[in-house]
Amino acid sequence: MRQRLGQVTLADGTSVACASAGAGRPLVYVMGWLTHLELSWEPGAERTFYEELAEGVRLVRYDRAGCGLSAATTRPFSLEFELEQLGAVAATLDEPFDLMGTSMGAPVAAAWAAAHPDTVRRLVLYGGWVRGSELSAPAVRENVLGLIEAHWGLGSDVLTDIFAPDADRATRAGHARYQRACSSAATARALLALSYELDVSAHLAQVRAPTLIVHRTGDRAAPVAQARALSAGIEHSHLALLPGRSHLPYAGDHGELVRTVRRFLGLPVPRRRAEGLTARQREVAELISQGCTNREIAHRLSIDERSAEGHVERILQRLGFRSRAQIAAWFTAQWGVSPPDSPAPGRTR
């Protein structure tokens, strides 16, 4: 799937980069804290997540000012500034759109839906909150903000551990580098401070669009109590709680999240399938989900260890993953047990 890059310009001249992928009715996606349209489209779990969402729709994303491909800004970050940027992107569309906000983007999307009910067909809020001040204790918030300001490298590592605890060490290290590439330390601190300041409690009663609130029960960045508060405040809402600890939507079992969102939006839900893997690769993926090493896989399947390693690499490439942990999470989410059209591990064809 190709991504098409562009930009919109705010009234004060601020340039905001935007991107679209897929074709069909628009789905505007308000991303979380730090973003980079190009880096997030590199092969990997994040791109796979967006491509699965974009099947049959036109997925529209943007980098908020100061992040990724968007220009730096001297304006203070605020909910009003967030809504102005979303409004500039929405103005490029000539029809009502589905709106999805994740993490910090969720309260922004809720506030937009409240203020512009005629523009929003359906609303999806993932990993969001009503009051940012309730995400953690004041002392914790100040310590995290101080760490980002004093040592952005260490701060990005700490936040990645919070955002994606289910990912392996290499994946977390890669995401920490990604965060640092998205923005400066000053911008990262200012945007995180804004996320703690956001309070949309006064807006929720004005949301008229059918709304899905989806949240992972073990989310360490946004307590599940905030999802329940969103649901209580929005009259036309459905609360879907999914297992998992990762705050990042594309970490952990993103397949179930995609299916939940697409089902709510009235889009075809992909069947649980092996994503084009061969029978042998499905066997290897199952053994990875059982915690087997390459040597153990080779022994179980009566192949040499180098062949097992090659199968793992091809699975990673085919699925767009970066780690064995992602393969294991994907296989468990897709099948739970051996796929019905795959022989039991160790049986040859």
Q: How far apart are CA 45 and CA 167, in angstroms?
A: 11
Residue ranges per structural domain of the chain: 3-264, 279-334
**Residue 340: per-residue pLDDT:** 40
Report pLDDT digits (tens) over 291-343.
999 999 999 998 999 889 888 988 886 776 778 988 888 887 666 544 444 44
Grade residue 43 by pLDDT with cuts at 50, 70 and 90. Answer: confident
Looking up tokens 């590439």 gives 181
Please give the structure tokens belonging to residue 41: 């489209």
Q: What is the CA radius of gyration of the chain?
A: 21
Question: What's the whole-number mean pLDDT along residues 344-348?
Answer: 40
Buried b (16+ CB within 10 A) or exposed e, 176-189: bebbbebbebebbb
**Strand 211-216 relative to strand 237-242: parallel, antiparallel, unpaired?**
parallel
Looking up tokens 């040499």 gives 304
Q: How far apart are CA 183 and CA 37, in angstroms?
A: 12
CATH class of 3-264: alpha beta
Q: Is the pLDDT of residue 348 over 70?
A: no
Please give the structure tokens belonging to residue 158: 């700490």
- Matching CATH number, 279-334, of 1.10.10.10, 3.40.50.10320, 2.160.10.10, 3.90.1480.20: 1.10.10.10
Helix axis angle for 185-197 and 138-150, nearest 10°, is 170
Q: How far apart are CA 167 and CA 177, in angstroms?
A: 15
Over pLDDT 90: what percentage of the chain? 74
Query: Whole-prediction pTM value?
Result: 0.80
Question: What's the whole-number mean pLDDT along residues 109-136?
Answer: 98
Q: How far apart are CA 78 and CA 197, in angstroms?
A: 9
Report pLDDT digits (tens) over 173-219.
889 999 999 999 999 999 999 999 999 999 999 999 999 999 999 99
Q: Is the pLDDT of residue 283 over 60?
A: yes
Mean pLDDT of the chain: 91
Q: Is the pLDDT of residue 124 over 90?
A: yes
Of residues 337 and 107, the one with the higher pLDDT is 107
Please give the structure tokens belonging to residue 326: 């992602």
Grade residue 252 by pLDDT with cuts at 50, 70 and 90. Answer: confident
From the list 100, 16, 119, the residue with the least C-alpha distance to 54 is 100
**Residue 169: per-residue pLDDT:** 81
From the list 186, 35, 189, the residue with the least C-alpha distance to 103 is 35
Cα of 312 vs its chain's centroid, Å: 25
**What are residue 109's phi and psi, to 5 degrees?**
-65, -40
Kindly report which listed range (19-23, 99-103, 237-241, 290-294) carries the lowest average pLDDT score. 290-294
Helix axis angle for 279-289 and 294-301, nearest 10°, is 130
Fold identical between 3-264 and 279-334?
A: no
Q: How far apart are CA 239 and CA 227, in angstroms?
A: 8
**Residue 171: per-residue pLDDT:** 81
How far CA 29 is from CA of 54, 109, 118, in Å, comes to: 10, 9, 17
Grade residue 83 by pLDDT with cuts at 50, 70 and 90. Answer: very high
Q: Is the pLDDT of residue 263 over 80?
A: yes
How far CA 191 is from CA of 78, 197, 283, in Å, comes to: 9, 10, 44
Question: What's the whole-number mean pLDDT along residues 90-113?
Answer: 97
Please give the structure tokens belonging to residue 338: 């051996």
